[in-house]
Structure 1
Amino acid sequence: MQRRHLFAAGIAAASLVQPLRAAGPADKPAFVLVHGAWHGGWCWTRVASQLRAAGHAVYTPTLTGLGERRHLLSPQVNLDTHIDDVVNLLDFEELENVVLVGHSYAGIVISGVADRARARLRQLVFLDALLLEPGKSLFSDFPQAVVDQRLKTIRETGAGVGAAPALPPSAFGVKDPTDAAWVQRHMTPQPVGTYLQPLQLKAPLGNSLPKTYIECTADPIATLEPTKARVRADAGWRTRTLATGHDAMVIAPGPLSDLLRELAA
């Protein structure tokens, strides 16, 4: 009798630790929200809570070397590291039917993820994000003056591991003093390898997945203009706009959450 009770208890306990799966095709899709440079999963807190309240599974990974994973910062962290971070999340959480959202720098990351893990994805959303041609790096597309300044700053303040110090919150359109203080407290240096390593893709950008570009129209960032021009010229993109600054997840979480839900419907 005691053995039967123990066996039943073991089954009950096992049921509590089954992996949390994303919703199936007939249910609400899951969201994986990937942050940009200097940020971490923390920046999606407001959006994630609203999407979860609407019944979606939401994941907000922090990329290696950033945010609460800043202790992992090293010269070896590069673009492939961050692509692997997200691919491994999809695999280990056994996610399917995922709306994969990439903000800013993470537009490059989710481009790589789509190339490697297409079967787990439903669509791609690029939030005021960067795009790269295969074989190019972030520094390949930046103006030379910007590259020179970034490298100079990294040499002077890179803490010996090759990292770019964060820009002020105002550079991301965050003007509210309380929000700016919150963002400032949480931003961490960006691994220089993410600037230097070229993006390698086997399939065309997006790997045939539906893709949407959300442009944040307030306080536009100059380094994003070539990407936005490329998107406007390509009929394969669905485009939306938000009248907010670059860090829309901080500045306008309600409108952004509503738009993401609309796109996922």
Structure 2
Amino acid sequence: MTAFVLVPGAFTGGWVWEEVAARLREAGAEAYPATLTGMGERRGEAGPGTGLETHVEDLLRLIDGMGTPRVVLVGHGYGLHPVLGTADRRPGRVARIISLDTALPGDGETALGSVPDPEVRARRTDGVLPAEDDGWIRPPRLGAWSRWGSTEGVPAEALERLDRLAAPQPAGTFTQPLRLSGAATAPPVTGVLCTANGSSVDLVRMLVESGPPQFRALADDRFRFLDLGTGHWPMLSAPGELAEVLLRAAAGEGHRITAPERDPEHEVPPHLLPFLLDVPEVPRERRGRVDLHLPDTDRPRPAIVFVHGGPVAADQRPTPRDTPFLLGYGRYAAGRGVVGVTLDHRLHGLADYPRAARDLAEAVALVRAAPRVDEDRIALWFFSTGGLLAADWLAAPPPWLRCVAANYPALAPLPGWRTVDSRFRPVAAVGTADGPPVVLTRAGREHPAFAATVEEFLTAAGRRGADVEVVDVPHGRHGFELVDPTDESRAAVERAMRSVLTHLRS
């Protein structure tokens, strides 16, 4: 008999699982909806020291008191943090972890770092809440639950109950880091992805195949994924379907995502593959997080600032500016007579776009002040998810910004990227100001999630009369400069560079 421990998300208690638990019991399983300290009907039990570790202890007491030798831990939203902490301390008791429409946090991460509500994110400062929050994080205002995830499919009476029973949550549960020893890597994990909230098996596959390197871990055999066609609150919108999916997950069903095959003896991660053009080394000046690749002249020259995507792990080595990709672009620009600028911005998580935007603005200011740079002739060239950072420059373009370029960009937050600040939507900014021309390089074999944002951008640009040149790479994939070093790809890079240089010199 399968025993499920059902751990709720923020502001709720075990009551949110009532119907799902009943369906699981009807199917012959055991079901234990958990109410954690300070939440739900236990809202009066919280004290000054109530934090994430308190909730881990709650779950440890629960499973230690169960007669079932092994349990399936289900975590929804915030609830996945104490689930992982519990599995780390009792790995032998956990048959499987089920992550319900929630990304897996890592050691040292806080729940606050993944809060989707922009109002809460706006109050945080480097992972800390200001003193005026008086030790509590309050639930969304009446009718605003969509700030924490799609409410598609949730009946009106269930939303009314959610509003009525939701309670403030101790802030320490959001700000205390998750501490993992590594033991929790033993149990298998199933991700149940709510497609109406933007997640899907196809999106995970895309991230594994060509996303940031850390996503390749999801190709491990211990991971399985299942789609569920509803919003972020399936226990309220589709309790019967959710119960069925949980039973399937507990039985080991689900999609296995595999990474592209490579020669194990000569495996090179995609971001370390060689640049597709043969470019000679040039002098390089390093200034903090910024590198200037200098052309063979002492006269001030225009500059191209190359902006990488992410998220990039804070401890990734080499950092982006030292990878063959950005080194190649920086040297290529210098070889064409302009200053090639590369930088390491701190986009380490989806909530870090404001910080990455500040890093970029500081880098541009540093570049414009450099003696070898013509401060009135600057271009910005964005790649992949770095494309979201173009929004600020399209919304309020300075006169010295002569061109914006973007290769296979995300021009709106991807599905499920709820923690990305709404300001980072180039599709909403393009053409709203008298801005610089845009050179957009489009991969013909692009992932659908990225391609959809590009088409939305082009539609908006056409409607608003923005100047956009499209450079197509019909057979190119995302990151074609590395994964498709063909003559077609080389020609596209050369054409895009010619266009950017023309705008810089005009």
| Range into which the TM-score falls when normalised by the shorter chain | 0.7 to 0.9
- Counting only pairs closer than 5 Å after superposition, residues 115-264 of structure 1 correspond to structure 2 as 115-140=88-113, 146-149=120-123, 155-156=131-132, 158=133, 160=134, 162-167=135-140, 168-171=144-147, 172-174=149-151, 175-203=154-182, 206-220=184-198, 234-236=218-220, 237-264=223-250
Cα deviation, residue 61, structure 1: 1.2
C-alpha offsets along residues 59-106 of structure 1, whole Å, 9 cap, x if unaligned? 011010000000012331111011111111001224322111111111
5+ residue gaps in structure 1?
Answer: 1-27
Q: Which has the higher contact order (CA 8 A, sep 6+)?
A: 1
**Identical residues among aligned pairs (%):** 37
Find the aligned partners of 1:249 and 1:141 in 2 and give their Cα distance. 21
Find the aligned partners of 1:121 and 1:246 in 2 and give their Cα distance. 25
- Counting only pairs closer than 5 Å after superposition, residues 105-120 of structure 1 correspond to structure 2 as 105-120=78-93
Does the 8 Å contact 1:154/1:164 carry over to 2? no
TM-score, with structure 1 as normaliser: 0.78
5+ residue gaps in structure 2?
Answer: 208-213, 252-506
4+ residue stretches of structure 1 with deviation over 2 A? 138-156, 168-176, 228-233
Q: Secondary structure at the match of 1:261?
A: helix
Corresponding residue of 2:367: none
Cα deviation, residue 139, structure 1: 3.2
C-alpha offsets along residues 154-209 of structure 1, whole Å, 9 cap, x if unaligned? 755x4x4x1111023333433421111011111111111012111111115x3311
Find the aligned partners of 2:155 and 2:129 in 1 and give their Cα distance. 27
Find the aligned partners of 1:42 and 1:141 in 2 and give their Cα distance. 24
Find the aligned partners of 2:28 and 2:215 in 1 and give their Cα distance. 31
Find the aligned partners of 1:136 and 1:153 in 2 and give their Cα distance. 15
Cα 1:231–1:63 change in 2 (3 A) is farther
| Root mean square deviation, CA, Å | 2.7
Larger Rg: 2
TM-score, with structure 2 as normaliser: 0.42
Find the aligned partners of 1:251 and 1:83 in 2 and give their Cα distance. 28
The amino acid of 2:17's aligned partner reads W
- Greater strand share, 1 or 2? 2
The amino acid of 2:102's aligned partner reads A
Does the 8 Å contact 1:128/1:215 carry over to 2? yes
Corresponding residue of 2:64: 91
- Greater helix share, 1 or 2? 1
1:36 equivalent in alignment to 2:9: yes
Aligned residues: 230
The amino acid of 2:186's aligned partner reads S
Find the aligned partners of 2:170 and 2:96 in 1 and give their Cα distance. 28
